[in-house]
Amino acid sequence: MIQATALSKQFRTSVRADGPFKSVRSLFSRNYTIREAVHDVSFTIAPGEFVGYIGPNGAGKSTTVKMLSGILHPTSGDVSIDGLSPYRDRRKVARRLGVLFGQRSQLWWDLPVRDSFEILAAMYDISKSDASARLDRLGSMLQLGDFMDTPVRKLSLGQRMRADIAAALLHNPGILFLDEPTIGLDVTAKRSIRTFLQQINKELGTTVLLTTHDMDDIEQLCSRVMVLNGGRLKFDGNIGQLRAMIGLPTLMTVTYRTAPAAFGDTGQAEYPRDDAPRAITETLLAKGLRLQDVSGNSLTVEFNRERCSAMDALRILELYGDVDDVHMEEPNFEDIVHRIY
Ligand SMILES: Nc1ncnc2c1ncn2[C@@H]1O[C@H](COP(=O)(O)OP(=O)(O)OP(=O)(O)O)[C@@H](O)[C@H]1O
């Protein structure tokens, strides 16, 4: 169980002096500005959850992850990992946590991957037999076999990221913090990392907190998403709730066999037509369907999935003619997230 309670972090940065001898004067300057990177953030993550932590650049995501893992001390508020404090019980917590910062490697640049793993295993007091059993399993799941004896500096980014994920999991932690694990990777490398993360979450019950700018990561992996902006938690819930909260419409385009009754003689849409049965008109308005476009035999309406199901929308549109084809377009997740930033 991960618990953050009213977590805040302020950074104090000195303000540079101006004018003559500014560099020397800066050394003695007592002027500081306070930047609040994280403000009053509270959440609980239950064992086995897969949670996405998103927000624009500078929102405070990495600062939160650093406080959760004991790298940074909060200015106020509290963190507990399985009831332990990451800064007071650092060693005990380190055994339960795997942490990956995608932009930085925890492997030794000039050493072969295998040697890095051996050093990490020794640091975590893992016996040789346990380390080799875990490495066999992680190696086959993450396909590390081809480059175990290659120095880290010679690995491709995708290979390095897989090796770093294995390093974070070598001591068998129940909780994994991932900060941008797919950054800069191609589609295939992203897919293999996502499949692996899904697998450890489902099969081993590993709890995952994932920070990413990749909305496909979030949609494909996370059952829950937390949105941080300006250091404050703006949303905490599932993706369906986020879609509903932002309320971007779903589009449905229906193509009829012949121009539907909803079209007037002039080719202009009259929607709903004045002479359409009142029951249809009322249902349509009640369900909040709005005409977006008419072209040829096709009609596009927008509606909110919270108010009207796709099936209901289609039932209503069928009343206007013989339907030949239906096309649906869900609001783009990137657009949804952009609205909340
Ligand atoms: N050590 C530090 N000293 C001063 N300010 C810092 C420090 N670390 C972070 N900050 C500031 O705190 C704010 C939050 O930074 P943080 O790295 O947590 O954001 P982020 O959400 O992870 O951003 P990104 O998506 O760009 O990685 C930023 O304004 C950043 O400049």
pLDDT at 264: 45
At 180-211, the pLDDT tens digits run: 999 888 898 899 999 999 999 999 999 999 99
pLDDT of 234 higher than 80: yes
- For a mutational test of ligand 1's pocket, the pick from 7, 12, 34, 61, i.e. the residue with the most ligand atoms closer than 8 A to its C-beta, is 61
- Percentage of the chain exceeding pLDDT 90: 53
The mean pLDDT value for 58-77 works out to: 94
* Ligand 1 pocket, residue 55 CB under 6 Å: yes
Model confidence over 77-90: pLDDT tens digits? 999 999 999 988 98
The answer, yes or no, to whether ipTM is higher than 0.85 is: yes
8 Å CB contact between 13 and 52: no
Residue 284, pLDDT score = 67
pLDDT band at 279 (very low <50, low <70, confident <90, very high): low
What span, in angstroms and rounded, lies between the C-alpha atoms of 199 and 189?
Answer: 15
Q: Is 102 in the pocket of ligand 1 (CB under 6 A)?
A: no
- Give residue 296's pLDDT: 82
Residue 37 in contact with ligand 1 by CB distance below 6 A: yes
Task: Give the 3-state secondary structure of 14-63.
Answer: ECCCCCCCHHHHHHHCCCEEEEEEEEEEEEEECCCCEEEEECCCCCCHHH
Given this model, what pLDDT does residue 326 score?
A: 96
Written in H, E and C, the secondary structure of 71-132 is CCCCCEEEEEECCECCCCCHHHHHHHEEEEECCCCCCCCCCEHHHHHHHHHHHCCCCHHHHH
Residue 87's alpha-carbon distances to 12, 66, 136, 162, in angstroms, are: 20, 11, 32, 28
Structure confidence at residue 275 (pLDDT): 54
Nearest-CA residue for atom 12 of ligand 1: 37
**57 ligand 1 Cβ < 6 A:** yes
pLDDT (average), residues 48-67 = 94
Q: Of 155-169, 183-197, 252-266, which gets the smallest average pLDDT?
A: 252-266
What is the pLDDT, as a whole number, of residue 282?
64
Rg (alpha carbons) of the chain, rounded to whole number = 27
Q: Give the pLDDT score at 276.
A: 55
Residue 277 confidence (pLDDT): 53
Rounded mean pLDDT, 102-114: 92
Strands 50-54 and 207-211, bridge-based pairing: parallel
Position 265 confidence tier, pLDDT thresholds 50, 70, 90? very low
How large is the average pLDDT for residues 224-232? 94
Q: Is the whole-model pTM more than 0.95? A: no
Segment 36-42 shows an average pLDDT of: 97
Percent of the chain topping pLDDT 70:
89
Q: Amino acid identity of 284? A: L
Residue 228: name the closest of 87, 101, 84, 59 by CA. 59
**What does the pLDDT read at residue 293?**
79
Please name the fold of domain 249-335.
Answer: Alpha-Beta Plaits (3.30.70)
Tokens, residue 296: 């040829």
208 lines ligand 1 (CB under 6 A): no
Residue with more model confidence, 289 or 252:
252
* 212 and 52 Cβ atoms separated by less than 8 Å: yes
Regarding the beta carbon of 195 and ligand 1, being less than 6 Å apart is answered no
CA-nearest residue for atom 3, ligand 1, is 11
Q: Grade residue 278 by pLDDT with cuts at 50, 70 and 90.
A: low
Where in the chain are all domains bearing CATH 3.40.50.300?
A: 47-237
- Closest C-alpha residue for ligand 1 atom 28: 58
| pLDDT at residue 244 greater than cutoff 80 | no
Predicted pLDDT at 17? 64
In the chain the first and final C-alpha atoms are separated, in Å, by 28
Which residues of the chain does CATH 3.30.70 include? Answer: 249-335
Is residue 126 predicted with pLDDT exceeding 80?
A: yes
- The structure tokens listed for 300 are 């596009």
Q: Which residue has the higher pLDDT, 31 or 54?
A: 54
CA of 63 to the centre of ligand 1 (A): 6
CATH code of 47-237, in short, is 3.40.50.300
- In whole angstroms, give the CA distance from residue 144 to residue 122: 20
